[in-house]
Amino acid sequence: MNRLKLILLQVAVGLGFLLLWHVLTAYPILAPTRQTQFFFSTPLDVLTRVWKEFASGEIWRHLWITLVETILAFAFGAGGGILFGFLFARRELLAAVFDPYIKAANALPRVVLAPIFALWFGLGIWSKVALGFTLVFFIVFFNVYQGVREVSPVVLANARMLGMNERQLLRHVYWPAALTWMFSSLHTSVGFALVGAVVGEYLGSSAGLGYKIHEAESVFDVTGVFAGMVILSIFVILIDYVVTLIERRLLVWRPAPSTNGQG
Amino acid sequence: MPASPSTAAVSLRSVAITFGPKVGGYTAVQNIDLTASPGEFIAIVGPTGCGKSTLLNAAAGLLKPSYGEVEIFGARLHGLNGRAGYLFQQDALMPWKTALQNVAVALEPKGVSRKEAEAKARDWLRRVGLAAFVDRYPHMLSGGQRKRVALAQMLIRDPEILLMDEPFGPLDAQTRQIMGNLLLELWAANRKAVLFVTHDLEEAIALADRVVVMSAGPAAGIIGEFPVPLPRPRDIAEVRLEPAFHHIHKEIWASLRTEVQKAYAQGEGASS
């Protein structure tokens, strides 16, 4: 009952927003409709455009490209983050020596790297993967680093007393602990992989969702821009849903997840 | 090397443990001489913060004594004590493994095959009364059940020495009694040398062959050793009602009381 009420309220907010948008653009309340429609388009036009994009099949190619970039960026970023997170957590000296450089690299806004990556890797998918990688890598790196270092000392002492050697400790204690932390940042890092892909496409490419939005923007096609944003949102929600499913499957051992409503 | 019957399972000789700098550091325990024979159940009692756990960690090899020696079956201890099992006060199970996996993994360092390890783990979980809970993760188990899993995890390796650091401390009184009886039952079936640390004198007497009393810290030492000549098998709840139990309790409490008061006074002083 409570859940139903919540869903109804959520739908009501969405419909209310669409209605407000419709009323303000369909009638000359704030400004002449020609003007408001130029700047804000209308909800009906946007939805029709979204429908057309899917119906004509034109959008699938772009979605596919963006999805591939996102997955590759996530895979490489997470792989690198896990590897270096582990290495640095287990080798104090390495962590201490590289600390300032890692902080500096992480503080750099990644957008400024996009042109460089375009120069290095061309306008194809790899420059977008590289941009996404720089975003995902640091999130996973810091989480894994933290996870390995904050393994419960009691669990560790117990595993040692059970006679585990370094390799067994790695496999049964450090690795699962690090994975937990990585998965707790899964939503964020997958989101950033997508951001990297879309921003990369936006700044220079010939395919992908970011390209579609940029293309529409360059001819002041506001309807096209909003349609691109709607498609992007649907795409993000779907990806996030898949991540939640994966997370649930992999972290069955965790106590009931706190209700911070990420999924 | 096979140990002759007369060799002590654990022998601490003039052990002192200091934390921090060698000079001016905090000395937890000092002048500790303690010997546990194979098959002997020793309980160590003392006021809070007297370094009982520190002593246990020295016997486990988790801590290196600043002074003195630790000998295990006559051989000087270097690094971790591979012949001992350790039951921690806190939860020490791997939260990402089920009860079965937690127990079975204890056999991996011994090179036992996975299949055999799981079969043995299943058997051990049955012996601690958790046959129906093998596939539960630690967070799905109660505190008492988690302790049972930890007990099975320790015993499946068949260690020759059992080190227990207030293992039943966090449990409620009834669960403690049940766990105490379970421990005695398992121990009676296959006697090991036991060092059992507790702050509960009644628990110590009910379980042990010998009760060792420590003074209040810092620089705590052993101030008395009392044999417990109560017959076995014992029932933890019933043994407390026997006159002999009261007699022993009175005797030990006489030496423990002043130390507890001392520790209490220090605690009060520190907190004000």
Contact B93 A172 (CB under 8 A): no
Contact B88 A154 (CB under 8 A): yes
- Please report, for the domain that includes residue A56, its CATH number: 1.10.3720.10
| Position A3 in a domain | no
Which are the contacts of B210, defined by CB distance < 8 A and separation ≥ 6?
B40, B41, B42, B43, B225, B226, B227, B228
pLDDT of residue B2: 47
| pLDDT, mean of residues B238-265 | 88
| Position A24 in a domain | no
Give CA B257 to chain center in angstroms: 22
State the pLDDT confidence band at B268, using cuts at 50, 70 and 90: low
Mutation target to probe the A interface, by most A beta carbons within 10 A, among B63, B90, B94, B195 is B94
| CA distances for B214 relative to B21, B40, B165, angstroms | 24, 19, 15
- The CA distance from B60 to the nearest CA of chain A, in Å, is 8
What tens-digit pLDDT sequence spans chain A (263 residues)? 689 999 999 999 999 999 999 999 888 888 888 888 888 899 999 999 999 988 988 889 999 999 999 999 999 999 999 899 989 988 889 989 999 998 898 888 888 888 899 899 988 899 999 999 999 999 999 998 988 888 899 999 999 999 999 899 999 999 888 888 888 788 889 889 999 999 999 988 888 999 999 999 999 999 999 999 999 999 988 988 998 888 888 777 877 654 444 33
Q: Write out the residues of chain A at the interface with chain B, using a CB-CB cutoff of 8 A.
A: 152, 154-155, 157-165, 168, 172-173, 176-177, 180, 252-255
| pLDDT, mean of residues B95-115 | 93
Nearest CB to A162 within list B62, B95, B157: B157
Nearest CB to A168 within list B62, B86, B108: B108
The domain of A115 spans 46-250
Of B196, B99, B185, the closest CA to residue B147 belongs to: B99
Residue in the block written with tokens 């010998």: B210
pLDDT of residue A261: 40
Q: How many CB pairs under 8 A join A and B?
A: 66
- The CA distance from A54 to the nearest CA of chain B, in Å, is 43
Maximal CA-CA distance, chain A: 79
CB of B93 less than 8 A from some CB of A: yes
CATH class of B10-83+160-271: alpha beta
Nearest CB to A154 within list B85, B92, B105: B92
Question: Which residues of chain A make contact with B97, given a CB cutoff of 8 A?
Answer: 172, 176, 253
CB of B90 less than 8 A from some CB of A: yes
Provide the token pair at B162.
């059992």
* Domain limits, chain B: 10-83+160-271, 92-158
Contact B94 A160 (CB under 8 A): no
Question: Which residues of chain B make contact with A158, given a CB cutoff of 8 A?
Answer: 86, 88, 92-93, 150
pLDDT of residue B88: 92
pLDDT of residue B24: 78
Helix (H) or strand (E) run with residue B32 in it: strand B26-36
Question: Which residues of chain B make contact with A176, given a CB cutoff of 8 A?
Answer: 94, 96-97
Contact B139 A168 (CB under 8 A): no
Share of chain B above pLDDT 90, in %: 59
| Position A244 in a domain | yes
Contact A155 B94 (CB under 8 A): yes
| Position A150 in a domain | yes
CB of B94 less than 8 A from some CB of A: yes
The answer, yes or no, to whether residue B23 has pLDDT greater than 70, is: yes
Contact A176 B84 (CB under 8 A): no
Nearest CB to A165 within list B60, B109, B138: B109
- The CA distance from A90 to the nearest CA of chain B, in Å, is 19
| Position A224 in a domain | yes
CB of B153 less than 8 A from some CB of A: yes
Name beta bridge partners: B42: B195, B210
Mutation target to probe the B interface, by most B beta carbons within 10 A, among A161, A181, A184 is A161
| pLDDT, mean of residues B217-245 | 89
Q: How far apart, in whole angstroms, are the C-alpha atoms of residue B186 and residue B82?
A: 21
CB of B95 less than 8 A from some CB of A: yes
On the CB side of B9, CA atoms within 13 Å amount to 22
Residue B119 CB coordination number (10 Å): 13
pLDDT in tens, B43-99: 999 887 778 888 999 999 999 998 899 999 988 998 899 899 999 998 899 999 999
The answer, yes or no, to whether residue B198 has pLDDT greater than 70, is: yes
Nearest CA in chain A to B87: A158
Q: How far apart, in whole angstroms, are the C-alpha atoms of residue B253 and residue B256?
A: 5
| pLDDT, mean of residues B160-188 | 90
Give CA B211 to chain center in angstroms: 12
Question: Which residues of chain A make contact with B152, given a CB cutoff of 8 A?
Answer: none
State the pLDDT confidence band at B263, using cuts at 50, 70 and 90: confident
Q: What is the pTM of this model?
A: 0.79
Query: Alpha helices, DSSP H only, in chain B?
Result: 52-60, 99-104, 114-127, 143-155, 173-189, 201-207, 236-239, 243-271
Question: Which residues of chain B make contact with A165, given a CB cutoff of 8 A?
Answer: 109
Provide the token pair at A85.
């997170």
Complex confidence, ipTM: 0.87
Question: Which residues of chain A make contact with B139, given a CB cutoff of 8 A?
Answer: 253-255
Q: How many domains does chain A have?
A: 1
Contact B109 A254 (CB under 8 A): no
CB of B60 less than 8 A from some CB of A: yes
